[in-house]
Structure 1
């Protein structure tokens, strides 16, 4: 393919048109980039599912115990960070106080699955990269689909703008492979041989309808998988070896010295539980393998400790002193909280772009909003001392903190704006019940 044509496509000087063969050739090169990356991401996904190298390549010993012990720390840590970061519902706030905008956002997303944001975070932490694809369903509702990097690939220019996005999938019944291609103007569908299978559809958004989430510039090299893969393999291998050593103790050998044993004698010994030795120098004893349990336990403890250290997690099963303060307990979470803050920042970038596409969708409904007006609030999913917060707010001079900000500090209030409307409604109902009483003023 002509290098000059590639440069023009990458610079946005030429729009992609897959009715032209040279643009099909460009698409094939994009697909090859996807294929080269998908091998790495498939390996990461295998580890999340527990298909580790230690389990897959564990050496089989004939006529011996061959137990395989799987300890999936990668899944455990990812689920902990997801639960901590987005376990509670996201809240939207308008810097201009535009309550209608927030209501429209919540209404637009009301039909989405409840675990959509948590799944988005899960794949972001798993692969350090994830895509969120936007489309309109048969009811003309704004919808989204999470695309893992094992299923899709976005080609970007040097400024991070998406030029083309491909989504590769296979139908369950026919097992046919298809490639959906998204450009800023149209949406195409090809088979695995890049032959169009239906007419292209107009893209109503005017740009490639996808948000690209990225945890860091290092991508797959900045994942829990990359950090602890070797430790987890070593842990599983050694633990499996120990389990098999214990199981093989059933195959103990009885050693006879200076004694002759006939075949029928073994049966009599088992039945009567008695051994008669022929002379003073004869003896019988079990042949036992000497296992250094302290060395084994120290090795296992070292593996486990290093896994927790590198992942910036704490072992909740460790024994704590009964008089440990809440501040000391919270301090143990400091490394994990800092890590989850970075995770939330990467997740927030996806949500910001989602709101931008929601604004494009709402504009078709005659509603014009500025996506920059919305700020996203994350609430950590940990026990919170609401009594202490109430005491602090009670001592703050009036006029220092708005009521909306004060409400948002409590863990049991998911949406401070909705809560303010409920309070105002209750106050109005009380005033209507007692018209003779003086009004108490409006709740801000």
Structure 2
């Protein structure tokens, strides 16, 4: 993909060191109005790209940081105001851990999609929906969408028709997508731009509710390469926001992560500098030949200078290790606390913990995942709104608001407790509702079908034959 060779910009920098972070969401109102008035895309697109640049740079830097690339981790290009003999630079990869834990927790289990049984064409639509999701490897697309949302604040998804005439989807990293709507809602896009490649020479795709335009940038000029109808009645490129502010999950604690990197790097440099500690000779005169002999033999004879006590010692710097450890522990705890991420190395997660106990410890992560789930479902609804316009052309009526998605957390299972709950709820609620609560059931509709098949496979009981057997046993007793 294009993002593999793209590089981003910088955060707010002073003397080579990162001092702060900016998260302003660009205002594209003027450009949207121009597009509504029929302005030439080639005049509007460069303005959109220019406004999107700070956001793009931030997301690209975050992606480089996620990959622990030297260009994205601040400590790797740290600059001191004075020269230092030893300058070790150590990265503590909290950033990737925050992203990966949220991604695995939310999207680690395949989401289940189902169509309302009360709707017309239920069986036809269900089969078409199943084929669409399986063809596009929905589990992988959802996983990558979640990852890019956690890294940069939002991701995007593009619907298109492949060369075989099949409906396809692909995830688009947020730094490649400019999503336009008058109210700033990146889910219900009116226009959208995807651009990738090298700056000043981007390949640009522009989408509206009818067509896709492909341009090649050459400096300030855009050359139209293609203009095609995209087969949908709505803009097929739309966003998946991580939150309303379009912020990545680690971005609130970047300062804390950088502080740990600097502290650990400095302490490591100081410890290594001990090997280069200076040897002091008090009351003696030592030449280079004597020092060389000392290095060779491990001992030295020091001639006195007369009347003075002769002494030799190393000049070392004493480290207050307790203060350093307390400082690092406080930073460590605050990173997990303020990012809503559980510290899985903590003693609280060791031993045989019950499922309910773990849920309390994961409450911060669950709160964050629940908020993201609502955004994700809203974007999924938009996806089916767009898809339904394509299916309508084939005389297949699909109600996009009756396609339901169920997300289950990738959470340690307590099967004994769940089995007890299932048994107690049987007969009190519908089988669909009851099975939907089970973490071990990925697809409720499929499970219900299996249950029906098993029920049909049981031979029916012949009551007449059973009555004759009972009557025969009664006669024998008499």
Question: Normalized against structure 2, the TM-score is what?
Answer: 0.80
Taking structure 1 as reference, are residues 64 and 325 closer, same or farther at Cα in structure 2, changes over 3 Å only?
A: same
CA distance in 2, matches of 1:23, 1:198: 13
Whether the aligned pair in 2 keeps the contact of 1:58 and 1:237 (CA below 8 Å) is no
Change (3 A) 1:281 1:23: closer
Partners of 1:275 and 1:7 in 2: CA distance: 80
Instruction: Tell whether the 8 Å contact from 1:30 to 1:155 is kept in structure 2 after alignment.
Output: no
Matched, 1:385 2:417: no
CA 1:336/1:370 → structure 2, altered by over 3 Å: closer, same or farther? same
Shift, 1:136, TM fit: 0.6
Counterparts of 1:8 and 1:247 in 2: how far apart (Å)? 56
Q: Please give the residue correspondences for 1:38-437 in structure 2 after superposition, counting only pairs within 5 Å.
A: 38-50=56-68, 51-59=72-80, 64-96=85-117, 98-113=122-137, 114-158=139-183, 160=185, 161-170=188-197, 177-193=202-218, 194-220=221-247, 223-278=248-303, 281-320=309-348, 325-396=354-425, 398=427, 400-431=428-459
Q: Residue 234 of structure 2: SS of its match in structure 1?
A: coil
1:3 paired residue number: none
> How far apart are the structure 1 equivalents of 2:356 and 2:245?
34
Q: Retained in 1: the 8 A contact 2:205–2:215?
A: yes
Q: Once structures 1 and 2 are overlaid, which stretch shifts more, 86-95 or 242-251?
A: 86-95
Q: Any conservation in 1 of the 2:102–2:369 contact (CA below 8 Å)?
A: yes
1:186 and 1:200 in contact (8 A); partners too: yes
Indicate conservation of the 8 Å contact 2:58/2:152, yes or no: no
Match of 2:33 in 1: 10
The structure, 1 or 2, with the larger RCO (C-alpha pairs under 8 Å, 6+ apart) is 1
The alignment covers a number of residue pairs equal to 421
Q: Which residue is equivalent to 1:37?
A: 55
2:282–2:310 contact (8 Å) kept in structure 1: yes
Structure 1 stretches of 4+ moved >4 Å = 6-9, 11-14, 60-63, 321-326, 434-438
Distance change >3 Å, CA 124–CA 271, structure 1 → 2? closer
Q: Secondary structure at the match of 1:115?
A: helix
Cα deviation, residue 403, structure 1: 1.7
Q: What is the TM-score when the length of structure 1 is the normalising length?
A: 0.85
Contact between 1:123 and 1:129, CA under 8 Å: does it hold in 2?
Answer: yes
Q: In the TM superposition, what is the alpha-carbon distance from 1:297 to its structure 2 partner?
A: 0.9
Give the Cα separation in 1 of the matches to 2:156 and 2:374. 16
Write the distance in 1 (CA, Å) between the matches of 2:258 and 2:31: 47
Q: Tell me, yes or no, if the aligned pair for 1:134 and 1:142 is still in contact at 8 Å.
A: yes
Conservation of the 8 A alpha-carbon contact between 2:59 and 2:151: no
User: Secondary structure at the residue paired with 2:180?
Assistant: strand
Structure 1 range deviating more: 350-359 or 233-242: 350-359
CA shift, 1:261, in A, is 1.5
CA distance in structure 1 between the aligned counterparts of 2:352 and 2:131, rounded to whole angstroms = 47
1:355 deviates by 2.0
* Structure 1: 5+ residue stretches without partners: 1-5, 439-444
- Mapped partners of 1:314, 1:24: distance in 2: 48
C-alpha spacing 1:325/1:283, structure 2 compared with 1 (3 Å): same
